[in-house]
Amino acid sequence: MTHRPVLTRTREELAAALADLKGTRALVMTMGALHKGHLQLVKRAKELGDHVVVTIFVNPTQFAPGEDFDAYPRTLDADMAALESVGADLVWAPSPEDAYPEPVDLSIDPGRIAHVLEGTARPTHFAGVALVCTKVVGLVRPDVALFGEKDAQQLAVLRHVFSQLDVPVRVEGVPIVRDTDGVALSSRNRYLLEDERVRARSLSKGLEAGREAAANGASAEQAVTAVLQVLETTGGIDVDYVALVDEGTFDILAGTPGVALVTEKDARPATMVEGGRACRILLAAKVGTTRLIDNLPVILEVERG
């Protein structure tokens, strides 16, 4: 049986509600406009903690001027109903003034991982993500925090930040949830027109082609090319980047022109698993006016000495 989550707005309300939760806490941070991907995070959180805390906050510090902060959908009533259906215990939905009671005059630079790919397209984005997530973890004090693998670079950034700052929380990645046509679930999918939605299916198909190429012994560069071939064949897709990265370090091994590859001097030890090197192939592209991101895990063959 599910129950309506307790809704809190202020820090004081949050602290009082947390005091009533005995046992371990699992945290899911969102900006609302919840879909099945978010709810899968909550379902996984229920497996990992005695209580699930969800935040709903459109964070202004991760939006640059001209981005869609004001237009981002706010659907708190629908979000609360959705969270009730999966058994969340507590929701914190603060105003910007509650989240940032003092003027923000500092930032967290997550290092080089935040200055490539999405960090190139949105230079201030990950500093804002790192700041708000560090603040929320400090307020909620969870045992585990869960993040979707769809935002793979964000997940890598937060793992790095929490490790570097000794933030006492375990980070758990949750696999991407896809619609029946293969399109990764995203709040931005609602902006796609019917014909654009059809073209958007090629993003996951391209990633699958890259993964299959890698499974058949292709190099990192050849896997990226396999993705691009699918997107180019489909047409009507404005590719921002395709890149293949090391899963553990996020070092970029191959990418489309303009993507900054890791140098031999800066490369960190490869993340090895059975079968080869654990990697992830990522892309960002515009379909119509809607910018989408997607990715898939890839095992890259490496030469053995």
Q: Which residues are catalytic?
A: 38
The answer on whether 154 is annotated among ligand-binding residues is: yes
146 is in an annotated binding site: no
β-bridge pairing 276-287 and 290-300: antiparallel
Q: By C-alpha distance, which of 37, 12, 6, 27 is closest to 187?
A: 37
- For 149-234, where are the E strands, in sequence order? 170-174
Q: For residues 32 and 79, is the Cβ–Cβ distance under 8 A?
A: yes
Residue 85 annotated as binding? Answer: no
- Is 36 known to sit in a ligand binding site? yes
| Count of beta carbons in the 10 Å neighbourhood of residue 173 | 18
Which strand (E) or helix (H) includes residue 220?
helix 220-234
Residue 150 near residue 293, CB atoms below 8 Å? yes
* Residues 249 and 213: beta-carbon distance below 8 Å: no
235 labelled binding-site residue: no
153 is in an annotated binding site: no
Annotated binding residue 130: no
Q: Are 269 and 241 in contact (CB under 8 A)?
A: no
222 is in an annotated binding site: no
* 141 belongs to an annotated ligand binding site: no
Return the H-helix or E-strand segment holding 279.
strand 276-287
- Say if residue 187 carries a ligand binding annotation: yes
150 is in an annotated binding site: yes
Phi first, then psi, for residue 90 (nearest 5°) are -145, 135
**Which residue ranges make up the annotated binding site for ATP?**
31-38, 148-151, 177, 185-188
**Which residue ranges make up the annotated binding site?**
31-38, 62, 148-151, 154, 177, 185-188
**Which residue ranges make up the annotated binding site for (R)-pantoate?**
62, 154
**Which residue ranges make up the annotated binding site for beta-alanine?**
62
